[in-house]
Structure 1
Amino acid sequence: MSGITRRMLMTGVAGLGAAAVMPRWLHASVQLGDWQIDTLSDGNLVLPADFILGPMPAEEVAPILARHGLAAGEPLTPPCNVTLLRGQGRTVLFDAGSGLAFQPSVGELPDALDALGVDPGDVTDVVFTHAHPDHLWGALDDFDEAMFYNARHYMGAGELDYWRDPETVNTIGTARQAFVIGAARRLEILGDMVERFEHGDEVLPGVTAVLTPGHTPGHMAFAVGNMMILGDAIGNHHVGFEAPGLPSGSDQDQALAAETRLALLDRIVADDMTLIGFHLPGGGIGRAERMDGAYRFVPEI
């Protein structure tokens, strides 16, 4: 069995039940030039409302939540949309999902890929927006080996340095210390598989990095033609659009993240761009429209 890895064994076992599984993980699909773009569900997070809404004035937030059918104080369950680009001889993932070690409601990306007939070994590139658990932790399998073992992995230089810095765990605050420990361990295991890039770099042909800091120090979005892959730079479809200047508890630098949201929304609307958001509904693909001095999210489907 010297040529058979544990991963191959697990892939074979998982494949036995694939025919019985409905492909419910495919969220949305569009064509952009040579690229086929699909958003795949990794499940959804379950968050206390205060994790996002805590720093916001309740009187401003309440009518926004009501418009979206959300009750004040109830848990938030944002979807997790992983973007898959296929074309030009590449199979590219933007972020790797959560894996099975974060929350029980996530970790469905391998099933989503299987439903499309994409094996982890088919993935040529994994491009990270940032290193929070729901974006990075799925880069390893259950054996702490690289899930996408044939892929080159890419992370912005500032983001990579931040999560690898041994001092980060002492400065991030106790609520997020587990994020640091988990990120550092996964990045250490991936090692030289992770390549660095800077703002403005063409990470892959036709894929340009856009620094969008605040949610994390080195968060990146990506421009692909007239489409912007946002990651968590705009983290929800309600207050993130209708009150983008308010501080969000999910952001590590709340003031900087608000500036980033406002600048991104202005660019997206001015350039009439399609957007893909990791935590936006309807598969995350849509547009931003100006509304009452702010914006609203309009899903493509």
Structure 2
Amino acid sequence: MSGNDFWSRRDVLKSSLALAGMGAAGMFPGAAWALGSLKLGASDITVISDGNLMLPLSFAFPDVAQDELVAFLKAAGQSTDALLPDCNITVLRHGDRVVMFDVGAGPNFMPTAGKLMDNIDAAGVSPDEITDIVFTHAHPDHLWGLIDDFDELIFADARYHMNRVEWEYWQAEDTLEKTPEARKSFVVGARNRMAFLEDRIELFEYGAEVVSGVEAVDTAGHTPGHTSFMIHDGSNSALVVGDAITNVAVSLAHPEWPSGSDQDAEKGIATRKMLLDRLATDGSRIIGFHMPHPGLGMVERDGSAYRFVAAG
């Protein structure tokens, strides 16, 4: 499997079930941090867990020598049996808007993920109050939580937003044709859920203000229209990263290593290097979808590489 391949639900789910028995910085000016929450100017940000993924190393980094990968993970104190990235859903309260970034995996992707609805009440968030859903991209762990067991929209009163390139890519006829058989379910699954949004979706371009105070940032590579979002409130800001950075150890120490989940491996590498340099230079706050829960922190330089510094 090359770094340009789609995720294979069959392969990844089979491996995750086999692995299931294993078990699963500082203060910043203008922002107050707590576990799972951030006060950003007059805005409030809450991070809700959707559980975690369980990814075999051969899937996560298929084009990296496995002995080199295992040695690195051991030195970094990471599991060498599988990668267990957390899935963090960001909710922004800004003015009269309550904005959710991605909707998680839902119940039909992986048994360790899809926990958003189990945790949403404890986070003090009601599905009925969500005014906007903003998607970073349309991979299963970000989109498949859109509908419930009765095939009804969970966030029925929300407006929905997706990058135009991303939307058109998953809808294009040749996307399914060019996808390997084992991975066609990802395209079909995306389309099945996107069909619920055809009369609701609002498409945006990079650089647009998608919702008041939320700017679309070009981080394509993981998918053709992958988007990160810079949240602005006065002089304060924080970046919702999505999957431009996917692993707390590997992505920062070795941004040049191709990721098996990036649909365009070379572009994914270029985007990752650009983004990490920008984040470290600017000292930006980030909310990482796959960083250790709750994913709040910043990126610092570490010699010629980088490291994630969790808030706390």
Q: Does TM, normalized by the shorter one, top 0.5? A: yes
Please give the per-residue CA displacement for 1:247-276, whole angstroms capped at 9, x wherever unaligned: 111111111000000000111111110111
Alignment of 1:277-296 (within 5 A): 277-296=288-307
Counterpart position of 1:117: 124
* One of 44, 47, 51 as aligned partner of 1:43: 51
Please give the per-residue CA displacement for 1:61-91, whole angstroms capped at 9, x wherever unaligned: 344312332343x122111000011130111
Please give the per-residue CA displacement for 1:20-57, whole angstroms capped at 9, x wherever unaligned: xxxxxx96111111211111101111111111121113
Work out whether residues 258 and 269 of structure 2, in 8 Å CA contact, stay in contact via their aligned partners in 1. Answer: yes
User: What's the CA shift for 1:203?
Assistant: 0.3
Q: Partners of 1:27 and 1:113 in 2: how far apart?
A: 15
Q: Partners of 2:71 and 2:36 in 1: how far apart?
A: 29
- Match for 2:295: what amino acid? G
Give the alignment's TM-score, normalised by structure 1. 0.88
Structure 2 SS opposite 1:181: helix
Q: Partners of 1:230 and 1:236 in 2: how far apart?
A: 12
- The answer to whether the aligner puts 1:234 opposite 2:245 as a matched pair is yes
Q: Partners of 1:188 and 1:164 in 2: how far apart?
A: 10
Q: Partners of 1:229 and 1:94 in 2: how far apart?
A: 8
Alignment of 1:148-167 (within 5 A): 148-167=155-174
Work out whether residues 46 and 123 of structure 2, in 8 Å CA contact, stay in contact via their aligned partners in 1. Answer: no
Work out whether residues 58 and 66 of structure 2, in 8 Å CA contact, stay in contact via their aligned partners in 1. Answer: no
Moved more, 194-203 or 162-171: 162-171
* One of 213, 217, 222 as aligned partner of 2:220: 213
- Match for 2:238: what amino acid? M
Identity of aligned residues (%): 46
User: What's the CA shift for 1:58?
Assistant: 3.6
Give the alignment's TM-score, normalised by structure 2. 0.85
- The answer to whether the aligner puts 1:31 opposite 2:31 as a matched pair is no
Counterpart position of 2:180: 173
Structure 2 SS opposite 1:116: coil
Structure 1 SS opposite 2:120: helix
* One of 261, 285, 294 as aligned partner of 2:272: 261
Q: Partners of 1:207 and 1:298 in 2: how far apart?
A: 24
- The answer to whether the aligner puts 1:271 opposite 2:292 as a matched pair is no
- Match for 1:46: what amino acid? M
Counterpart position of 2:191: 184
User: What's the CA shift for 1:139?
Assistant: 1.0
* One of 78, 83, 86 as aligned partner of 1:70: 78
Structure 2 SS opposite 1:115: coil
Work out whether residues 88 and 293 of structure 2, in 8 Å CA contact, stay in contact via their aligned partners in 1. Answer: no
Structure 2 SS opposite 1:289: strand
Please give the per-residue CA displacement for 1:1-36, whole angstroms capped at 9, x wherever unaligned: xxxxxxxxxxxxxxxxxxxxxxxxx96111111211
Moved more, 80-89 or 56-65: 56-65
Q: Partners of 2:99 and 2:169 in 1: how far apart?
A: 24
* One of 292, 295, 298 as aligned partner of 2:309: 298
Work out whether residues 99 and 131 of structure 2, in 8 Å CA contact, stay in contact via their aligned partners in 1. Answer: yes
Structure 2 SS opposite 1:30: strand
Q: Partners of 1:150 and 1:58 in 2: how far apart?
A: 46
Could you say what the CA RMSD is over the residues aligned between the two structures, in angstroms? Answer: 1.5
Q: Partners of 2:284 and 2:124 in 1: how far apart?
A: 30
Structure 1 SS opposite 2:121: helix
- The answer to whether the aligner puts 1:197 opposite 2:204 as a matched pair is yes
Q: Which runs of 5+ in 1 are unaligned?
A: 1-25
User: What's the CA shift for 1:284?
Assistant: 0.7
Please give the per-residue CA displacement for 1:186-208, whole angstroms capped at 9, x wherever unaligned: 00122211110000000011100
* One of 75, 93, 103 as aligned partner of 2:100: 93
Moved more, 156-165 or 109-118: 109-118
Structure 1 SS opposite 2:37: strand
Q: How many residues align?
A: 275
Work out whether residues 27 and 41 of structure 1, in 8 Å CA contact, stay in contact via their aligned partners in 2. Answer: no
Return the structure number with greater relative CO, CA threshold 8 A, min gap 6. 2
